[in-house]
Amino acid sequence: MAKATFTPKRLLVVHAHPDDESLFTGHVIAERLAAGAEVYVLTLTRGELGKVKLEELKTLEGNFAAMGAFRAGELREALAALGNAKHSFAGTRAYRDSGMRINPWGKPVKRRRLSELSLCAVSTSVIAEDITKVINDFKPDAVLTYNRKGGFGHPDHKMAHEAAAMAVRKAGKSGSGRAPAFWVIAEPGERFDVEIGNAKTAPLKKAALEAHASQVSVSAETYSVVPGKDIRYDRPERIRRASPNPLVYLRPIFTFIWALPLGILLALAGTMLHQIRAYDYQGAPIGLVVALIMTGSLAIALRLLRRSRGALYLMTLAFVSVVFWLSQRQPGGELFIPGNDVGNWWAFGSIGLCAFVILFPRIKPGAWRRSSRGHQ
């Protein structure tokens, strides 16, 4: 099986706040610098709304200029610890940390009142122009930032993703050269293409996190931003290749369009097959065996190829609905799924197979797709 690799010689990392570069990509930056690559970290704000951990620094809160200057100093120390990556803040204007609030459902969202200087109050295209300028000057092979959801959901992280994706698209249309590859940080539980972090990069990430003392608490083996949520600093970071095209986010709609009809067709085909020799008790129910194998194989294929259970959920929903309908006596008296042993095996066995594949915990999503991509 071909494995994905991440070996850009020139890497641009786009983050929203100081400390994000160490929290989410410390291993990646350290590994690339150690390999002799050039790394450029672009930070969009100075983290003016950060909540400090140290009591002696509490006076910084509310003083945007002082907080921004202090955290910029921490960022310089962190980058030095990782190996002296190039760095700049976004330059068209001094964007301010937007902060966030938690909605009643426990999700991070934009604050109700935003300063006109806040990152989230600015047009995405304006921020993208800043990133595009860096891309044109630095000419990276790859751009790395948060995923579409902004990691844990911070509004500034989402904005950074949208602006970076727009900048990569502009680079591809400019005619000045090939657009850089677009990579995003994979959150726990998401699929990933590459895992980076080892015994050599772990001490460097720890030192970088220690530089952000106002925001991060570091112990002998773990660090935390939120009290009670300790993370090992030697835990590898996971990233994946992504598309900068916004239409890719319409994929769930397209999945809905084809997965439901697929479930209907599978139920109809299986029902037709299972009746072959179903009433011949002298012979084996070959049609039932073929129908069950077809159902199980398709369910497993969807888990492996679609990288999630979403398509399988939709297909199973349509499949169960049609099987239930066909098991009822129709207005003309027809009964497509008889209430004998073979009919029961088809109705309950096929649904049981789909449920088993859905609930099975560890079918590695994307394994086949990564393999096939390596042979293209």
Q: Residue 376: pLDDT above 50?
A: no
Report the percentage of the chain scoring pLDDT > 90: 55
The Cα 168–Cα 177 span in angstroms is 12
The Cα 298–Cα 311 span in angstroms is 11
Q: Residue 93: pLDDT above 60?
A: yes
**Average pLDDT, stretch 251-257?**
74
Res. 366 pLDDT band, cuts 50 70 90: very low
pTM of the full structure: 0.69
> What single DSSP character describes residue 14?
E
Q: Cβ distance 101 to 69 under 8 Å?
A: no
* Average pLDDT in the chain: 86
Q: Residue 86: pLDDT above 90?
A: yes
| pLDDT confidence of residue 176 | 63
Single out the residue of 154, 119, 144 nearest to residue 226, CA to CA.
Answer: 154
Within its chain, how far is the Cα of 140 from the centroid? 22
pLDDT digits (tens, 9 = 90+) for 43-84: 999 999 988 988 899 999 889 999 999 999 999 999 999 998
**Which helix (H) or strand (E) covers residue 337, if one does?**
none
Res. 283 pLDDT band, cuts 50 70 90: low
| pLDDT confidence of residue 249 | 62
| pLDDT confidence of residue 168 | 95
Question: Which of 143-152, 244-253, 304-313 holds the top average pLDDT?
Answer: 143-152
| pLDDT confidence of residue 251 | 67
**Average pLDDT, stretch 117-128?**
91
More confident of the two residues 175 and 333 = 333
**∠266-364-259 over CA atoms, to 5°?**
25
| pLDDT confidence of residue 329 | 85
Q: Which domains does the chain have, with CATH numbers?
A: 10-244 (3.40.50.10320), 251-374 (no CATH)
| pLDDT confidence of residue 370 | 41
Q: Cβ distance 352 to 345 under 8 Å?
A: no
| pLDDT confidence of residue 254 | 75
Measured from the Cβ of residue 186, the count of other Cβ atoms closer than 10 Å reads 19
Res. 374 pLDDT band, cuts 50 70 90: very low
Within its chain, how far is the Cα of 10 from the centroid? 23
Res. 3 pLDDT band, cuts 50 70 90: low
Q: Residue 140: pLDDT above 70?
A: yes
Whole-angstrom CA distances from 27 to 14, 148, 237, 288 are 15, 21, 7, 53
Q: Which two tokens stand for residue 351?
A: 């649904």
Angle between helices 286-306 and 367-374 (to 10 degrees): 70
**Average pLDDT, stretch 195-204?**
95
Q: Cβ distance 318 to 258 under 8 Å?
A: no
Res. 362 pLDDT band, cuts 50 70 90: low
Q: Residue 345: pLDDT above 80?
A: yes
The Cα 80–Cα 73 span in angstroms is 11
| pLDDT confidence of residue 297 | 92
Helices (H), 239-338: 251-274, 286-306, 310-326
pLDDT digits (tens, 9 = 90+) for 176-193: 667 899 999 998 888 899
| Dihedral Cα 142, 372, 239, 83, nearest 10 deg | -50
| pLDDT confidence of residue 78 | 97
Q: Cβ distance 216 to 53 under 8 Å?
A: yes
> What single DSSP character describes residue 96?
B
Res. 309 pLDDT band, cuts 50 70 90: confident
The owner of tokens 């570069």 is 21
